[in-house]
Amino acid sequence: MGGTYEPIDPIRGITNKSSGKMGLELAKQAYIRGFDVTLIVANVSVKIPSVFDVIKVETAGEMNDVIKELIPTQDIFISTAAVSDFKFEDKEIHKIDSSKALSINLKPTIKIIRQIKELNPNIFLVGFKAEVNISKKDIIASAKQQIKDAGTDLVIANDVSDENCHFGSDNNKVWIVDDDIVSVPLSSKKEVANIIFDVILEKF
């Protein structure tokens, strides 16, 4: 959960605005419903209750390493983290001089979600798909493409350009996508998590 961080030098890097709020609400729902919950936590702005087992990571690579160890023994994996799509080709070991123009080379990070079913074919895999300023039709098409590419059992899709449910907000509006499509209107993330878990337990 949360956003990963890819360093460019010892004090600078790239990340995103993911807060971890949606992931935490889903974790709470899982706990309430009797599941043992382990959280893989990148950069978040929420306080995580001590009842959860927490593994801290920073980069996409670190998250991937932890997931590869955990996934073979898990029943459900909910992929709420906003994982960086790119990392720097060559990380500097010293602070980069800010007085000069700078060009950087990026390379793609590993697509973590596409490995999950390979590591554990029986796991129930829930993906998230955040899009920006596109139509409902295209959002759902994007979610269905993730199902095709990663074998996800459910995808939670939303548009984070919506001013009412952007990264870091307390509300969300989503579509829960598999063969069916469940539309969840603008609600608190707690309410959205409750609905998502109802669907998960129906399909699991």
| Class level of CATH domain 6-203 | alpha beta
Averaged confidence pLDDT in the chain: 95
The mean pLDDT value for 82-86 works out to: 94
CA distance 135 to 177: 15
Task: Give pLDDT, residue 164.
Answer: 85
> Does pLDDT of 103 surpass 90?
no
> Does pLDDT of 53 surpass 90?
yes
Task: Give pLDDT, residue 166.
Answer: 83
For the chain, domain boundaries: 6-203
Residue 100's pLDDT band, with cuts at 50, 70 and 90, is confident
| Residue (of 116, 84, 92) closest to 14 by Cα position | 84
Beta strands in 62-189 (DSSP E): 76-79, 86-88, 106-108, 124-131, 154-159, 171-177, 181-188
pTM > 0.85: yes or no: yes
DSSP single-letter state for residue 43? B
Task: Give pLDDT, residue 195.
Answer: 98
pLDDT in tens, 107-139: 999 999 999 999 999 999 999 999 999 999 999
pLDDT in tens, 157-192: 999 988 888 888 999 999 999 999 999 999 999 999
Are 18 and 82 within 8 A, CB to CB?
Answer: yes
Task: Give pLDDT, residue 92.
Answer: 85
